[in-house]
Structures are given as structure tokens and as C-alpha cells.
Chain A
Amino acid sequence: MTLILRKISRKFGRRIILNNLNLEVREGEILALLGPSGCGKSTTLRIIAGLERPDTGEILINGANMTHIPPVDRKIGMVFQNYALFPHLSVGENLSLGLNIRGVPNKQIQVRVSSILGLMKLDDHVNKLPAELSGGQRQRVALARALLRDPSIYLLDEPMSNLDAQLREDLRPELRSLITSENKPVVYVTHDQNEAMALANRIAILNNGVIEQIDTPQDIYKNPKTYFVASFIGSPKINTVNQSNEILSAVRPEDIYFSEEGLNCKVLAREWHGKNQIIILDCSKGILRMICDVDTKIPTNTKVSWDKDKVYRFNINTGKRSILTT
């Protein structure tokens, strides 16, 4: 099963939300749509689901054109950011409603619902209302509802953003194995780069309705194709170290080190992060952030340097990466 988006564009009034978007998600693959808020990632997901229509372009699921097919017939399993559980229905009713409407026989509904409840470890909560559940449990009910549909593709809209950090990390492997077990395409919208890196096979970085880059998490980090991608991915943010002849040079914080020779700096602050520390420096090029081992001592005569091959260069006008041969 595959999902293909071809030349999708969408405007709200005069504002361009999506501009000529092309995307392919293969079976068993988790594709993360990552970008700042307002970049069009949620709209993309809603267009795939059929909750919104593209102005132009088409959506293919398993080769079939779904552009004008209503949501229910697209066989979508969707998890909403706020879970969208029906608050007046118990967990069991939330899960069985869709099956009931689609005319699945009662006995079969019972079997399917109870098996999914077991899988999700929700057996004890069948008769509870969503308000009586914890955030993590609600998320599992929402996921169970999506799984029950036996969909062709999974769409997840920031499914973890309402959970606290600890729970998020705990749930990641579980979520990953659940949604990939059926070998279906998964589109995962998030604004959290760590989550995208941890979960996705490939990441699509969206900015102003345009895909800046689609690549594996490693490539997105190591070989950013545009300045936007380089600055969006990585924490602390990539440092701009030089700007001349329409070329902007940038260095990742971990590639900066103290040295005998180099740029004169003044230490502004240090932040301790367990294994690492972030040192904030003021130099003639502006503010630099470097990340290094906690044991690293700050020399009295602070000078920093970096290796030439670690410098990323971008064209200032286009934002595109320029590979210089020197």
C-alpha cells in the first residue's frame, strides 16, 4: 500500500497554505511532516484525510485516485491532536460507534472491540467516560479507534503533544510497533524534531507550504539542503559564522571547539545538560553556541575554532546549500 500526493496546492483566501506539494509514503514507512506552526503540515494531513479539499492536485491511495472521495471511503485511521473522543460515550461505545454505523454485526463488533482493548491494555476502562481517563489512556483509546477501522493508511496529528515528556518517551516504542505492525503507510505530523527523528523513517520538512527537504533523519541532520532545514533541525540551533559574497556559512554547535588559534570570544553563559554543557559565547561574528562534554574546561584565553569540512554554506538569496569546491 502506498500514499502519493501529486502537485497539491491549497489557498485560504489569498494566503497560500500549500504550494505544489509532492509526497510519497511507502508501505510500512513512517513519514514525519515536520515544520513550524502554520507551515501547512496539518492542512496536508487534513487533505489526505479528505476533511479538506485541495485546490489542485491529486491524492492516490494504492494507486486509486481519492481526491474527490469522502473521508469514510478513504479508509483512514486518524488520531487527532486532542484525540477527539466522543465525551458522552464510554470507551467501549467510542470504539464500537463506527463499526455499528457501518453495519458490522454485533457479535463481530464485540470480538473486535475486546481484542483491541486487550492489545491496548484498556480492558479495565471499557465503561469509563473519556473524562475519567488519563492523557495516556485517552491517547490509546484514540489509537485503538483508528486501528479498529482497519485503515489503508494511518494519519497522526501530533498525537503526543498533550502528554508530558516522560510519558511521550515511554509511549514512543509502543506507538511505533503498533502503527508499523501492519505494514501500512503512516503520516505523522509533529512540530517536535526529537519526536520526528526518533519515530520516522523519513522526515519531510515543511516551510510556508513548500517541502524543503525529504530525507532520512540522519540525512536531514547531516546534509541539510537549505538553510531553513539546517536551522530548524538541531538544538541548539546551528551557528551562523560568516556572511560574505552572498554566501552564508554555518557550523553546528558540536563542531565548535576551544583551541590555541582561532576566533577570540567571551563566555556569556554555560548551561549544564547532564552529559553535555552548552557554552554561549560572544565574538566578533555575533553570539555562538557550542556544545561540549561537561568535563571541558574553559581556557583563560578563550579562542574557538572549527574544521573547514564541518562548515555548511548556503546561498543567501535562495537559502539553498552551495557546495563550494576550493
Chain B
Amino acid sequence: MKKSTKLWLIVLLIWSLSPLIWQLYSSFCTTDVLIKPFEIHSNRWTLDNYKQILNADIGFSKYIINSTIVGISTTFLTILIAIPGSYSLARLPVKIHNLTRSLILIAALSPYVLLFLALLEMARKFNLANNLILLSLPYSALSLPLALLLLASAFKDIPKELEEASRIEGLSSFQTVRFILLPLIKPSIASTAILVFLFSWNEYPIALSWLSNPEALTLPVAIARLAGSSIYSVPYGAYAAATVLGSIPLLLIVLIFQRQIVSGLTNGAIKG
């Protein structure tokens, strides 16, 4: 690697990591330090922020579990629907494929907050509120356009001869998808899953309106509720601790899936 490249990488790393490091640093600091960061303090370090949020009436771990439940069920449901959906999308005749893809793209790009009221009405009418699994319904619906587009392009990249060869070998459509196509698009499934999980992990407006039971809140809503008794006191330390805790599961998931995102699997399919 060239020296200048290395230097740029380091600059970029600092640029993107510094907010996270500042967050981590803040979470271990007392409130006084955060207000006057450049003065000398006798007791700079503390675990109070963590103790505060973990020992609250409803421990913070509860929210992490809630968010994990929503995240996993959303991801599962989305991928489950997106696989057959995107496969069919990829195999549509070119014209219909392009039209359908454009429509899905429009859906993927439109701001979902516009659906906020309608979703709230539906939650009321069909009694969907305060249920973490049911919350994954709107989440999956909102994630599907992106998931469909990503997976469809992955399916399209697989040479059609592979499918034909598997038909000649006697595999049914289901077996072809299961034994040939899915293993080949595993990297795309993994990255799509991460994006979907991330969306559900971060989502705020719908969670805010669908969940009112304090036991059933997801992380973003719970963090927002940390705000102190008056609007003048902002619990920076607690916020920082909450975001640090809330990021850990995400980091873990990315690390686990990272091994799956080994591209280059299809390299041997075409001539070499």
C-alpha cells in the first residue's frame, strides 16, 4: 500500500470513528466533565451513567431484548418473502421486469413517514399495538422494496445456464433455488439482512405510535424517554451510555455476518 493511501485511510478512520469514540468516552464521564470538558476534575470517570439506565424501573436490557425481537422477526419475515419475490422479479420478461422494478424503486425511495397516520389507524382498527412481533409487519412491508431490489439483482447476476444445468440434472424449481441459487446469493442475503435489521433497530416514528406500554418499547423510543424531568436537563451521560449499549448488538451482528459476505463465490461459474 502506498504511504499516501495509508495516510488517507487513517484520516478517514478518524473522521468516521471519532463520533463513536466520543460517545464511548462520554458514557464514562460524570455530568460535570461533560459540561466543562476542558477543566480539571477530581473524579472524571464514573459508571453511574450505566448504573442509572440499567437499574431503572425497567432495566435497559429489556429494551435491547425488545429491539432484538422486532429486529429478528422483521429480518426473518422480510427475507422469507423477498427470496421468492425477488427470484420471480429477476425472471420476469425484460419489459415487465423493468416496469416492476421502477415501481418498487419508487416505493423504496418514498419517505415512509407519509404512511405514519395510515399505519396508526390500522394499528388501532386491527388492534396491532403494543405487540413486538406484530410491529415487524409494517417494518417488513417498509423493508421489502429495498430487499426485493437487492436480491433480484443478485439473482439476475447468476448465469441462467446454471439453472438450466440444474434442470437437466433433474432438480425441481424449489430444489434449484434451495441447492444452487440460495448458496450463491448468500452474501447478498447477508448484507440485505443487515440493512433490514438496521432499519428496524433504528426506526422511531412507527415504534413511537404503535408502542405505548413501557414494557414493550424498542430502543429508540426508550432512549428518547430518558430525557429528564424538565426540558432544561439533558442527561447526556445516560444518552451516551444508552447508545453505546444499543450499538453493541449491532456490532456483533455485523461481525458475525461479515464472514458470510465473502464475495467472489460466483467467479468460477463463467469462463475463467
Measured CB to CB, the residues of A under 8 A from B are: 46, 49, 51, 70-72, 76, 78, 80-88, 97-98, 101-102, 129-133, 135, 138, 145, 149, 162
Contact = CB atoms under 8 A, between A and B. Distances in A.
B224 to A, nearest CB: 45
A162 B268 contact: no
Contacts of A78: 165, 168
A46 B159 CA distance: 15
9 contacts: A71-B167, A76-B168, A80-B165, A82-B270, A87-B268, A87-B269, A97-B171, A131-B268, A131-B272
Nearest to A70: B167
Interface string B34-78: 000000000000000000000000000000000000000000000
Query: Looking at B161, B165, B180, B270, which has the most chain A CB atoms within 10 Å of its CB?
Result: B165
Nearest to A86: B180
B268 A72 contact: no
A71 B175 CA distance: 15
Given A82-B159, A131-B272, A135-B272, A87 B267 contact: yes
Nearest to A102: B170
Contact of B168 (A72, A129, A162): A72
B2 interface: no
Contacts of A129: 268
Contacts of B162: 84, 86-87
Query: Looking at B164, B180, B266, B270, which has the most chain A CB atoms within 10 Å of its CB?
Result: B164
Contacts of A138: 268, 272
A80 B265 contact: no
Given A78-B168, A80-B164, A84-B165, A135 B268 contact: no
A85 B171 contact: no
Interface string B136-173: 00000000000000000000000101101111111100
A281 B8 CA distance: 62
A149 B168 CA distance: 9
Nearest to A103: B170
B183 interface: yes
Interface of B is mostly: helix
Interface bracket on B = 20 to 34
A98 B268 contact: no
A87 B270 CA distance: 9
A242 B272 CA distance: 47
Interface string B231-272: 000000000000000000000000000000000011111111
A149 B169 CA distance: 8
Contacts of B159: 82, 84
A51 B167 contact: yes
A130 B169 contact: no
A84 B164 contact: yes
Contact of B269 (A76, A85, A145): A85
8 smallest A-B Cβ distances: which pairs? A131-B268, A98-B169, A84-B161, A84-B165, A72-B170, A130-B268, A162-B271, A87-B268
Contacts of A162: 271
B155 to A, nearest CB: 15
B184 interface: yes
A141 B193 CA distance: 35
B112 interface: no
B170 A84 contact: no
A70 B169 CA distance: 11
B170 A88 contact: no
B179 interface: yes
